[in-house]
Structure 1
Amino acid sequence: MKQNEYTKETITLSHASIYCEYILNGKPPVLLIHGFVSSTYTYNRLIPLLEKSFSVIAIDLPGFGRSEKSRTFIYSYHNYASLVAECMDYFKLKDVTLIGHSMGGQIALYTAEKIPDKINKLILLSSSGYLKRANKWLIYSSYLPFFDLIAKRHVLKQSVEETLKNVLYDPSLITNELKAEYGRPLKDKNFYKALVRFLRHREGDLSSEQLQKIQTSSLLIWGENDRVVPLSIGKRLEKELPNATLISYEKTGHLITEERPFELYKQIYNFANGE
């Protein structure tokens, strides 16, 4: 592990090749978890701000981004949480501020439930919540030969630009680079095989009863124009997490890291430092 310089490399966690970006500078650590069909690129505007005040570690989860599209990894939230815990051990982190966007927020919650003593604070950005497991017939169908081709056809029904318009309030932020990065995994045939395994193994989101047991101090940040995970989910999470505070931004969509990086940095800094 390199110190004091921004590094991009592949490491092995949970028997899978995991792409990560990090800078270890002796400052308090933040670990970043991206959302569904996304990658570390979710945080491309936020990381340069965070590294001024924090050691920063961001990973591509198995099945996504530049990480391995493993045929053996069990793509469950429980296993993703175990992988995040293993990542903390790999980088010798303690008192971690865990930041998760969208699905990454749910994985952060699973991690906090699993290893509460290692998590200092939780920051949930437009976090998924209260989603059920896929219905049993869809799970059974996932075992059919060539089901990954059906998944591919479904995913590609909407263009990358159309998807980005759905997650952003301001479509003028859509650049060729943004389209290229979010479109990158869709070109990998193994991505769809991993996606099918994810459909098969993903549990539902944590229940109200489980959420109420998570004592970690939590900051919830939302876009008021989020069409993917509406603000109502954030309000419900705030009520059920014992130590949670919700902040929302007007004229902001689901991809809040792209639309509000400077505001997010300020909120993260203040919250992590108890201000």
Structure 2
Amino acid sequence: MPTRRRRSEAPRRRWPLYALFATGALAGVVLWAYAPSLPAETLIARYTNDRSRFIDVGGVRAHVRDQGNPDGVPVLLIHGSNGSLQVWEGWARELAQSSRVISVDLPGHGLTGTWPRDEYTVEAYADFIEVLIDNLHLDKVVLVGHSLGGAVAWSFAATRPDRVIQLVLVDAAGYPRQDDEVPLMTRLARTPVLGDIGIYFKPESMVRRSLRDAYADPAQATPDRIRRMAELQRFPGNREATLQRARTQEPLDPTPLRRMDVPTLILWGGKDRWVPAADAFRFQNDIKGAKLEIFGNLGHNPMEEDPKATAATAAAFIAGAPLPPQPAEPTPPPEPEPAGADHAVQPSVMPEKD
């Protein structure tokens, strides 16, 4: 009787093992990439200096630097998206001799963090700037804005022209982009679930790529700048505010620019990869009497790439601004009248002699 051939054993199912391995690898990547918020006290100690102070602005503890000539024209500097007041350090040094230079971290940025209003649109930031100016007891300021801060600056000037002496726009946002021109990170942030999870990944690599694109010279994306921007994004509440801003900011309407009558300087980097130089000419055409200066070898952050040259252009423009009113001198008390003086009332206007 022939020997029966044994049935070959069924192959083991290995997919559970593969699934377990894949899950473990994914968990490892998530744990490696996950970056919780950093302690506020640590970042405040690291990124403040002797000119920093915190003041209440609309219920938020805002990080402000107020420096320079206290009797000079007040110049308020507004940074861009995911930036901080440190981007203006070069300009602060250059302008401090003649101007009073004020810089601030917007809500959801830098060391300011979130605010009770919980809105991070251009319109909300314009309201924030008005309260800041009031709290600093200023009547008018020269308003300087970069990128998103530029949109805040011109929106403020368009709605509150009586509070603005002059306007300086540095590679400012203002004109709607086509869908294919919206940055990848903004599109990802607007994607449900993916955006909610993605904000908690380590930002260093994204910041490095972003800053290399922001400068005409990638070497300007120094380790210190990358570290500062990445760490300040991890200030408590900042990433959640960034996500909300990406999802709630409506396209800007540039129509009010045509009605503005504020002395304006437009300053632009000719190699800006984010906001094309064509927009600089659109601003010049829309704002009556606007002056335009393009720095052909600079990128989106010209005030950082060449602070001396760009600040010199701004300083020359600001030099034509009127000085803020000085406090009135106290009126001395009247001297006592000599005895026997004539107290006859004289007419307020003496008649002319024939």
- How far off its partner does 1:133 sit? 11
Residues 59 and 115 in structure 2, CA contact (< 8 A), matched pair in contact too:
no
- Name the residue aligned to 1:102: 147
In 1, the alpha carbon distance for the partners of 2:58 and 2:191 equals: 24
The one-character-per-residue Cα deviations of 1:113-137 (angstroms, maximum 9, x if unpaired) are 12101101000001012136999xx
Q: Conserved in 2, the CA contact under 8 Å of 1:225 and 1:250?
A: yes
Is 1:150 paired with 2:198?
Answer: yes
1:216 positional shift: 0.6
- 1:252: which partner in 2? 298
What is the distance in 2 between the residues matched to 1:261 and 1:84?
24
One-letter amino acid of the structure 2 residue matched with residue 148 of structure 1: D
1:228 maps to which of 274, 288, 295: 274
In structure 2, the CA distance between the partners of 1:188 and 1:273, relative to structure 1 (3 Å rule), is: closer
Q: CA deviation at 1:149?
A: 1.9
CA 1:82–1:66: 2 relative to 1, 3 Å: same
Secondary structure of 1:131's partner? coil
Deviations 1:187-236 (A, max 9, x none): 346222111221233232232x2110111111001111000111011111
Letter paired with 1:35? G
| Other-structure match for 1:268 | 314
Q: Which has the larger radius of gyration?
A: 2
What do you get for the CA RMSD once the two structures are aligned? 2.7
**1:107 Cα offset (Å):** 0.2
1:163 corresponds in structure 2 to 210
- 1:71 CA drift (Å): 6.3
- Cα distance in 2, alignment partners of residues 34 and 70 from structure 1: 17
8 Å Cα contact 1:70/1:194 also seen in 2: no
Q: 1:219–1:271: 8 Å Cα contact kept in structure 2?
A: yes
Contact kept? 1:100, 1:124, Cα under 8 Å = yes
Residue in 1 aligned with 2:246? 199
SS, match of residue 237 in structure 2:
helix
| Change in CA separation of 1:73 and 1:217 when aligned onto 2, cut-off 3 Å | same
Q: Is the 8 A contact 1:11 1:19 kept in 2?
A: yes
Partner SS, residue 87 of structure 2 = helix
- The CA deviation at 1:150 is 3.4
1:52 corresponds to: 97
For 1:191 and 1:71, locate their aligned partners in 2 and report how far apart those are by CA, in whole Å: 13
Q: CA deviation at 1:274?
A: 2.3
Q: Which amino acid aligns with 1:101?
A: H
CA 1:159–1:144: 2 relative to 1, 3 Å? closer
Tell me the matched-pair count: 266
1:83-94 alignment, distance < 5 Å: 83-94=128-139
Which one of 215, 229, 233 corresponds to residue 186 of structure 1?
Answer: 233
8 Å CA contact 2:60–2:116 kept in 1: the answer is no
Aligned-partner Cα distance in 2 for 1:48–1:157: 28
**What is the deviation of 1:172?**
2.5
Contact residue 41 and residue 181 of structure 1 kept, 8 A: no
Residues 145 and 11 of structure 1, relative CA distance in 2, 3 Å threshold = farther
Residues 133, 28 of structure 1: CA spacing in aligned structure 2 closer, same or farther, 3 A cutoff?
farther
2:61 aligned partner, one-letter code: S
Aligned: 1:78 with 2:148: no
The separation in 2 between residues aligned to 1:133 and 1:113, in whole angstroms, is 24
Comparing 166-175 with 44-53, greater Cα deviation is found at 166-175
Displacement of 1:86: 1.0
Assess if the C-alpha contact under 8 Å between 2:54 and 2:62 holds in 1: yes
One-letter amino acid of the counterpart of residue 109, structure 1? W
1:94–1:70 distance in 2 versus 1, CA, 3 Å: closer
CA contact (8 A) 1:10 1:18 kept: yes
Does residue 21 (structure 1) correspond to residue 65 (structure 2)? The answer is: yes
TM-score scaled by length of structure 1: 0.87
1-structure distance, mates of 2:173, 2:197: 26
- Secondary structure of residue in 1 paired with 2:55: strand
Q: Are 1:210 and 2:256 an aligned pair?
A: yes
CA 1:218–1:152 in 2, change beyond 3 Å: closer, same or farther?
A: farther
